[in-house]
């Protein structure tokens, strides 16, 4: 008749179907194969006020995929970084990411999903069964139930506590907190509020400011009146430049020392702020606190050399290589690619369960610090443990791996130097 009518299934057929559904997408069934290039989604703002994050996260993707592709790709597939613009605004992020998931072939892994939009993008990508390494710092993900979620950078509350530790270590006891009104910046507040009194310091003023105002003179007048000895700060480069210029004008040319996040360790921030308050202040009075990692390891050298080798990233390599979240994204790509090899498939729902195996310590495992080393070890039948730029990842049951903290300073050429470390356990104690 040409029309297919629905008929009740027999109990045996129904049971078979249920078993098949239950097994679908897990280990044990035959791994599916794909053809063509694999798309690695870089989900980040590429337009709008937070567009610098797009640059910041594309660079480690290019570094990792250059190395992976030079080594023959993953299971014979070349890998391509695909920019997905979340604009830093959930209202744009949802349609843009949904469209990318629906229309991008072989969308098998992702990085990014930063704090501004993570609350909406994380569920979308996880529900699409695409494993991803996020750079968001939202404390709401410290405990979560997303099976495809992985994070190798500390939560914002821990960052806030680390700011307080560093400020007090430098002898500053009266802090003025000025944060831009975005979710990432404000996430630092609980940690600061918890840590500062325990360290014997106090918060003289706590202001939230809008981005890109014509002037911050009124806010600056309030900060000056609070007489802080340190400014704990988080805002985009343009907002920072305008605020500091206003501060300098209204305070007889004197600016307070600043503690901010390594998120600001970018050429955009350096250039914008240097132009309006001078290089001397930027190199001597600003500390940038974030994830610590050893910059002498083989993994770091491989990463930095890959950034220097790519024409699109070589200019920002000296600064970028010292920033935690991009390094975490680079490690994440290597980990996911090695998990694909272990699972013998590039399909996320299959290789996801191998991700923890790539990094877990096990006796007799070959410690590898690059994709090429890991691929070679797996090809010769060895088990591996990936130790990357951020060191040994140690994921908890929620797939979060935090680690230690460090403080950095800008050099006159815009590169950065580590000037101290902060114990991760001390930070966690302050939050307890």
Partner 1 sequence: MQLLIEAIGFGIASGAVIALGAVGFSVQFGMSNVLNITYGALMTLGAYIGLFLIDRGISAWVALAISGIVVGVVSVAFNRGLLAPLVKRGTRAFAIVIVTVSAGVVLQYVIVVFAGADAKSYGEQSGQTFHLLGMVLTASEVNIIVLAAVLMLGLHLLLTRTTLGRAMRATASNRILAQSCGIATDRISDIAWMLSGMLCGAAGVALAITTVSFDFSLGAVFLIPMIAAAVLGGIGQPYGAMVGGLVVGIASELAAAFTNPAYREVVAFGILIVMLLVRPHGLFGAAWATRRLMA
* Contacting positions for partner 1 (CB under 8 A): 48-49, 51, 181, 207-210, 212-219, 221-222, 225, 237-238, 241-242, 245-246, 248-250, 252-253, 267-268, 271-272, 275-278
Q: Which residues contact 307 (CB under 8 A, 6 or more apart)?
A: 59, 60, 62, 63, 313, 314, 316, 317, 320, 321
Nearest Cα neighbor of 268 from 43, 41, 54 is 54
Nearest distance, CB of residue 238 and partner 1, angstroms:
4
Nearest distance, CB of residue 331 and partner 1, angstroms:
28
Residue among 222 and 392 whose Cβ is closer to partner 1: 222
Q: Which residues contact 379 (CB under 8 A, 6 or more apart)?
A: none
Nearest distance, CB of residue 85 and partner 1, angstroms:
13
Name the maximum alpha-carbon separation found in the chain.
Answer: 89
Nearest distance, CB of residue 49 and partner 1, angstroms:
7
Distance of CA 56 to the CA centre of its chain: 10
Whole-angstrom Cα Rg for the chain = 23
Residue among 50 and 427 whose Cβ is closer to partner 1: 50
CB atoms within 10 A of CB 378: 17
Q: Which residues contact 227 (CB under 8 A, 6 or more apart)?
A: 174, 204
- The H or E element containing residue 274 is helix 267-277
Nearest Cα neighbor of 335 from 315, 311, 319, 359 is 359
Residue among 34 and 217 whose Cβ is closer to partner 1: 217
Nearest distance, CB of residue 213 and partner 1, angstroms:
7
Nearest distance, CB of residue 279 and partner 1, angstroms:
11
DSSP state of 171: T
Residue among 238 and 353 whose Cβ is closer to partner 1: 238
Residue among 280 and 396 whose Cβ is closer to partner 1: 280
Residue among 258 and 359 whose Cβ is closer to partner 1: 258
């Amino acid at each position: 008749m040409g029309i297919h009518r629905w008929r009740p299934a027999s109990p045996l057929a129904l049971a078979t179907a249920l078993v098949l559904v239950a097994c679908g997408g897990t280990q044990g069934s035959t791994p599916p194969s794909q053809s063509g290039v694999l798309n690695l989604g870089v989900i980040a703002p590429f337009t709008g006020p937070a567009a610098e994050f797009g640059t910041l996260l594309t660079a480690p993707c290019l570094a990792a995929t250059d190395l992976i592709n030079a080594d023959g790709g993953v299971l014979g597939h070349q890998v391509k970084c695909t920019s997905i613009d979340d604009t830093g605004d959930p209202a744009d992020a949802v349609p843009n990411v949904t469209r990318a998931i629906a229309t991008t072939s072989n969308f098998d892994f992702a990085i990014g999903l930063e704090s501004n939009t993570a609350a909406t993008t994380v569920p979308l990508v996880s529900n699409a069964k695409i494993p991803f390494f996020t750079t968001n710092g939202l404390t709401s993900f410290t405990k979560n139930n997303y099976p495809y979620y992985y994070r190798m950078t500390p939560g914002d509350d821990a960052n806030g506590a680390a700011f307080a530790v560093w400020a007090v270590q430098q002898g500053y006891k009266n802090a003025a907190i000025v944060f831009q009104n975005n979710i990432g910046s404000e996430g630092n507040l609980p940690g600061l509020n918890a840590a500062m009194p325990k360290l014997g310091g106090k918060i003289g003023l706590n202001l939230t400011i809008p981005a890109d105002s014509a002037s911050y003179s009124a806010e600056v007048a309030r900060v000056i009146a609070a007489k802080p000895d340190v400014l704990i700060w988080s805002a985009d480069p343009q907002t920072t430049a305008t605020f500091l210029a206003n501060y300098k004008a209204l305070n007889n040319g004197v600016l307070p020392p600043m503690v901010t996040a390594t998120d600001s360790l970018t050429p955009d921030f350096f250039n914008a702020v240097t132009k309006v308050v001078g290089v001397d202040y930027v190199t001597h009075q600003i500390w940038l606190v974030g994830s610590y990692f050893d910059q002498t390891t083989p993994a770091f050298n491989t990463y930095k050399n890959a950034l220097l080798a790519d024409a699109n990233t070589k200019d920002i390599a000296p600064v970028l290589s010292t920033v935690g979240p991009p390094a975490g994204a680079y490690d994440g790509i290597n980990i996911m690619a090695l998990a694909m090899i272990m699972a013998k498939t590039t399909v996320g729902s299959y290789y996801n369960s191998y991700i923890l195996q790539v990094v877990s310590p096990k006796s007799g495992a070959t410690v590898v610090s690059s994709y090429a080393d890991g691929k070679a070890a797996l090809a010769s039948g060895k088990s591996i443990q990936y130790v990357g730029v951020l060191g040994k990842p140690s994921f908890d049951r929620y797939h979060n791996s935090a680690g230690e903290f460090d403080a950095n300073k800008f050099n006159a050429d815009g590169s950065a130097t580590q000037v101290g470390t902060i114990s991760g356990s001390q930070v966690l104690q302050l939050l307890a």
